[in-house]
Amino acid sequence: MIQTKRWNVQTNKMAISEAAALLEDGQTVAFPTETVYGLGADATNNTAVSKIFEAKGRPEDNPLIAHVATKEQLNSLVSSLSPIAEKLIDAFTPGPVTFVLPSNGTCAENVTAGLSTIGVRIPDHPVANKLLKECGIPIAAPSANVSGKPSPTTADHVWEDLNGKIAGLVDGGSTGVGVESTVIDCTQELPIILRPGGITKEQLEQVVGKVMLDPALANASEKPKAPGMKYRHYAPEVPMWLVAGSPDRMQEVINRERAQQNRVGVMASTATAQKLEADQIIPLGFELKEIAANLYDALREFKDGNIDLILCETFPETNIGEAVMNRLKKASSAHL
């Protein structure tokens, strides 16, 4: 156990400078980004980065994203940028997108898990950006959860998972987007989305024309190009099933399971939730954007002991719905 220092950026003027000092000293610090909280360490320091893997219980073959404050700093980590990569970077940074680019070897080897490419992102969050500017080093940061659990969208989520395992936690309130960044491979002729996220395929295509999807996203028997996408993820404490179709169909499944003495929790859009009766119901919001923002908090709300089974509505796989459904499929064990 280590003592985890927690700062609130609203009330503590020293938060950023103290957090930056810990990062420069090779310690781990969690901080908010516009997507989810990240668990940071000095990306140029192998020993510091290994503390991230240890705290999260993360498999070592899963590379980390390097977070930087500026495009110049991004350039300092890569060996080249294709014209398409330049266009995408100019259009979407700072923002919820990670560019996979040819690495020039500046970052520690365990950041890239031995790959010749590196994922780099410039977040769009005032706390993350101040922190990155203050310490001036690239910060390796995966989501600040225990591996396998839903990603953290509040400081309390991080505390629940990592208190005693990390040196610091900067509390900057709830994150905005709620699902992680889009990971896009820009090392091939056509850009390939490896993980759908905060910037949608539709937005990317408006800037560069055709964008591919990693075939593994549609077909579970393909090997994903992003090592992290092969793991089961975002798992709630109790089993979750996805239920397609109308609210009436959902109510039928609820009734059937309750008749078997199962206590049933439901996650659905607010419009659907208002029509249902179950043991616990979490309305996620009316719009896909709200649903994305509330998703991980809802997954953490259902506790073993209160609920035996979660049933979740399915959503259209357009815009940010693509990222929402990608996470829900990974979190669930059946699709009815």
Stretch 282-321: interaction string toward Mg ion, x if CB under 5 A: ----------------------------------------
String of DSSP letters for 146-186? -TTSPPPSSHHHHHHHHTTTSSEEEE----SS-SPPEEEE-
Residue 175, contacted partner among Mg ion, ligand TXA, none, CB below 5-8 A by kind: none
Burial of 2 from C-beta contacts in 10 A (0-12 / 13-18 / 19+): middle
Q: Which is nearer to ligand TXA, 161 or 180 (CB)?
A: 180
Q: Which does 176 bind (CB under 5 to 8 A by kind): Mg ion, ligand TXA, none?
A: none
The answer to the question of residue 27 lying near Mg ion (CB under 5 A) is no
CA angle 291, 294, 297 (to 5 degrees): 145
* Using rule CB under 6 A, residue 35 touches ligand TXA: yes
Smallest Cα–Cα separation from 330: which of 242, 198, 245, 200?
Answer: 242
Nearest distance from C-beta of residue 43 to ligand TXA, angstroms: 11
- Which residue number is nearest to ligand TXA in terms of Cβ? 228
314 is a site residue for ligand TXA (CB under 6 A): no
* Site map 205..244 versus ligand TXA, x via CB under 6 A: ---------------------xxxx---------------
The one segment of 24-32, 107-115, 142-150, 275-283 that binds Mg ion by CB under 5 A:
142-150
Report the residue count for the chain.
Answer: 336
Q: Give the burial string for 254-293 (b: 16+ CB within 10 Å, else e).
A: beebbeeebebbbbbbbebbeebebbebbbbbeebbbbbb
Assign 46 to helix, strand or coil.
helix
Q: Does 175 bind Mg ion (CB under 5 A)?
A: no
Q: Name the binder of 64 from ligand TXA, Mg ion, none, CB < 5-8 A by kind.
A: ligand TXA
- Pick between residue 38 and residue 150 the one whose CB is nearest to ligand TXA: 38
127 sits near ligand TXA (criterion: CB under 6 A): no
Q: Is 118 in the site for ligand TXA (CB under 6 A)?
A: yes
Dihedral sign, Cα of residue 279, residue 154, residue 269, residue 97: negative
CA distance 81 to 90: 12
- The item of ligand TXA, Mg ion, none sharing an interface with residue 62, based on CB under 5 to 8 Å by kind, is ligand TXA
Residue 326 within binding range of Mg ion, rule CB under 5 A: no
Q: Is 143 among the residues that bind Mg ion (CB under 5 A)?
A: yes
Q: Which does 88 bind (CB under 5 to 8 A by kind): Mg ion, ligand TXA, none?
A: none
Q: Shortest distance, CB of residue 151 to Mg ion, whole angstroms?
A: 5
Question: Comparing C-alpha atoms, which of 128, 9, 10, 8 is closest to residue 70?
Answer: 128
Taking the C-alpha atoms of residue 174 and residue 152, their distance in angstroms, rounded to an integer, is: 9
Among ligand TXA, Mg ion, none, the one that 172 touches (CB under a kind-dependent 5 to 8 A) is: none
Query: In the complex with ligand TXA, which residue's Cβ is closer, 193 or 312?
Result: 193
| Of the residues 19, 48, 63, 127, which one makes contact with ligand TXA according to CB under 6 A | 63
Strand order across the beta sheet in which 168-171 lies = 5-8, 168-171, 29-31, 38-42, 139-140, 65-67, 117-121, 97-102, 182-185, 192-195, 212-213
The answer to whether 197 and 179 are in contact (CB under 8 A) is yes
> From residue 161 to residue 200, what is the string marking binding to ligand TXA with x (rule CB under 6 A)?
-------------------xx-x----------xx-----
Residues contributing to the site for ligand TXA (CB under 6 A): 33, 35-36, 38, 62-65, 98, 100, 112, 115, 117-119, 121, 141-143, 180-181, 183, 194-195, 226-229
